[in-house]
Amino acid sequence: MSNHIITGVAGFVGNHLAKRLIKEGHEVYGMDNLDCGFMANIDELLDHPNFHFKNADIRNKNCIVAEIQIDYVWHLAARGEVYWCRDNPEEALDVNVIGTLNILKQAKRLGAKHIFFADTSAEYDSFEDDQYFPTAEWMAPNTITPMGYYPITKMCASQFVRSFGHKNDIGTTLFRYTNIYGPSMNLDRDIPPVVGAFTSKLLNGEEAIMYGDGTKRRDFLHIDDLTDFHIAVLKARGTEKDTQTYNAGSGKNHSILEVYTTVHAACRKITKHIPSLINHKPDQPDEAQVTLANIEKAKEELGWEPTISFKDGVEKTVKSLADMMENNNDS
């Protein structure tokens, strides 16, 4: 088995990946500064002999988990909130770009065979015409101009990843995530991810907040499908020396109104006391009207495709979040 570094290990995506890699017998060296991640996400791993954690900040150029030979680096740490990056562009640049450069240098120093980088489908956010959907990997960065600071920082970082890998003979694989949802989503953001935001409001007996008129459409992927995607990438790409990019999405999209209806129905299976009114607020700037990933490349080259329907995924997520909220209330 192999040694893996995961940055952002206490975050939503990172903790699921760490648990899966350890389950498959790998050694995981996780790092997180806990600005966006939570120790509760990795509590069950702390006593596992194959898991090693360090509170570290990728903005520190000497950040590293351990002085050992590393096989793979999964760089997931970032500030991914569109509104936060809009309000804090210098810090967004520092974390998402300079932090990435720091990790790349450490990956080389520790002898990494391959670097996996969490990119974003927000790089496609300037597309509006139907001819661009579903959006394929080749369409970025040559044919797009991201609207917000967040995708700009991620596009810049992704170019550094590609160039660094090429110049240092290290394989690189980039993932353009769509909207990922599921258990352990971060609900503490000022504006949480929409599935979690609707769920927490409704289960607390409050009106759900909807930004805009609800007609925006998003491609949603359940975290379990994403974790399967990561493992498929590791198996297919772990020994390769070139660079490739893959969309990580479902290949289907849903309007925000559809999301609300689906979450509302799932919440009513838990309690009948669910508000029906929606608190509409002005739309958030710097966000795409439509996201829809073309996932044919991942299907053909990785042998992966999603297996969890949006309805089933939402029901699983709502049940998990309801259990978490009940446990928090009991403690």
CATH number of the domain enclosing 81: 3.40.50.720
Segment 145-153 mean pLDDT: 80
Segment 259-277 mean pLDDT: 94
Do 275 and 265 fall into the same domain?
yes
- For 182-220, the pLDDT digits (tens) are 998 888 777 789 999 999 999 999 999 999 999 999 999
Residue 144 is predicted with a pLDDT of 54
Do 213 and 263 fall into the same domain?
yes
Residue 133 is predicted with a pLDDT of 83
The answer to whether residue 300 sits within a structural domain is no
Residue 139 is predicted with a pLDDT of 78
- ω into 49 cis (within 30 of 0): no
The answer to whether residue 330 sits within a structural domain is no
Do 81 and 153 fall into the same domain?
yes
181 is catalytic: no
Checking if the pLDDT of 330 tops 80, the result is: no
The answer to whether residue 327 sits within a structural domain is no
Query: Which residues, in sequence order, are CB contacts of 307 under 8 Å at separation 6+?
Result: 225, 228
Into how many domains does the chain fold?
2
Do 166 and 285 fall into the same domain?
no
Six-digit token pair at 100? 């990435």
Checking if the pLDDT of 22 tops 90, the result is: yes
Distance, in Å, from the CA atom of 258 to the CA atom of 132, rounded to the nearest integer, reads 22
Query: Which residues, in sequence order, are CB contacts of 13 under 8 Å at separation 6+?
Result: 76, 118, 177, 180, 223, 226
Least trusted range by pLDDT, from 40-49, 141-150, 165-174 = 141-150
Do 12 and 70 fall into the same domain?
yes
pTM exceeding 0.85: yes
Do 52 and 68 fall into the same domain?
yes
Indicate the average pLDDT of the chain. Answer: 92
Do 274 and 311 fall into the same domain?
yes
The answer to whether residue 101 sits within a structural domain is yes
Task: Check: CB of residue 232 under 8 Å from CB of residue 299.
Answer: no
- For 225-264, the pLDDT digits (tens) are 999 999 999 999 999 999 999 999 999 999 999 999 999 9
The answer to whether residue 299 sits within a structural domain is no
Do 229 and 286 fall into the same domain?
no
Checking if the pLDDT of 126 tops 60, the result is: no
CATH number of the domain enclosing 280: 3.90.25.10
SS3 132: helix
Do 140 and 233 fall into the same domain?
yes
- Per the structure, the complete domain to which residue 11 belongs is given by 3-180+221-248
Given pLDDT bands bounded at 50, 70 and 90, which one contains residue 82? confident
Residue 185 is predicted with a pLDDT of 87
Residue from 150, 181, 246, 260 carrying the catalytic annotation: 150
Do 225 and 244 fall into the same domain?
yes
